[in-house]
Amino acid sequence: MNSKTSGAKNTETVKRGLAQMLKGGVIMDVVNAEQAKIAEDAGAAAVMALERVPADIRADGGVARMSDPEKILEIQESVTIPVMAKCRIGHFVEAELLQALGVDYVDESEVLTPADEEHHVAKSNFDVPFVCGCRNLGEALRRIGEGAAMMRTKGEAGTGDVVEAVRHMRHVMADVRKLQTMSADERPTFAKEISAPLALVEEVAELGRLPVVNFAAGGVATPADAALMMRLGADGVFVGSGIFKSGDPALRARAVVEATTNFEDPRKIAEVSRNLGEAMVGIANSSLQPEEMLAGRGW
């Protein structure tokens, strides 16, 4: 009846598996232990430990970097749910630090100022799993090719405007559907067109979806936003500034969690959307200058 304990760690199954456990859930940006506790009590499936939420990064300007390790440790101590943290695109040393701190997932994120404008982190070399942003299927498969074990849309973080997240999710899903209608001999050309590894293109054609979990992120501010992203095919939702930049974070957090679970039930979503207080103020995406858009970071 006894079995080995010395199992294989950090395998693809184990890395992708944690993301599968987060499905149907909400991952919330938090900047301290108090917020992390509020998020956990409201039903968050995980938290993203940050020094500043994207709305503040946008407002403050300057270079946005990995959080102070002290903050991350404080958040890890305060909750039992998984704790994720962000490193800059291409900053493999920040990623190594986060791994050394024992975070459960590293987000190589366009929300921080990129450290490398040409290269992403070689994620397969790490024990810790990575989540990355994408705008379309090609970008998703490039990141998965580098070792990402989970994807999310980039959206446009810190705006409270869901339009870019919708654009990116629709783009990914449309690419997948297009690929499924192709004959085998058309796939290599498609792989070339979207600059994605052919093996992964073949895998998507076979599965009819990405080989890893794909969440929505970037501009989700209301329960209805979260449900919209689920209806478009997201496996779950990241909420950044939308919760702790709103009038009543605890109430809104729980409402977003419930809307994500009941995304196909408008009556329940209407119920949880009542009297939530003020949503984050928000910035309409159409008012942003191209250089103010974060989604263009990475390739």
Partner 1 sequence: MSALIGVLALQGDFAEHVQVLDAVGGRARQVRDANQLEGLDGLIIPGGESTTIGMLMERYDLDGPIRDLAKHGMPIWGTCAGLILMACDVGRQQPLLELINISVERNAFGRQLESFEVSVDIEGISGGGFPAVFIRAPRVVSVGDDVEVLARLDDGSIVAVRQKNLLGTAFHPELTCDLRLHRYFVGMTEAV
Question: Which residues contact partner 1 by CB under 8 A?
Answer: 1-11, 13-14, 17-18, 20-25, 40-46, 80-82, 99, 102-105, 127-129, 257-258, 260-262, 265
Closest CA to 133 of 122, 144, 124, 118: 144
Catalytic residue among 37, 71, 86, 178: 86
Minimum distance of partner 1 from residue 60's CB (angstroms): 31
Nearer to partner 1, 80 or 286 (CB): 80
CA angle 36, 133, 297 (to 5 degrees): 110
Nearer to partner 1, 32 or 99 (CB): 99
Minimum distance of partner 1 from residue 258's CB (angstroms): 7
Nearer to partner 1, 139 or 235 (CB): 235
Minimum distance of partner 1 from residue 286's CB (angstroms): 34
Nearer to partner 1, 110 or 235 (CB): 235
Asked if 86 is an active-site residue, the reply is yes
Using a CB cutoff of 8 Å and minimum separation of 24, what contacts does 30-35 make?
30/75, 30/244, 31/71, 31/244, 32/71, 32/74, 32/75, 33/74, 33/75, 33/77, 33/78, 34/78, 35/244, 35/249
| Distance in angstroms (rounded) separating the CA atoms of residues 196 and 243 | 35
Minimum distance of partner 1 from residue 24's CB (angstroms): 5
Q: What type of residue sits at position 279?
A: A
Q: List, by residue number, the catalytic residues.
A: 86
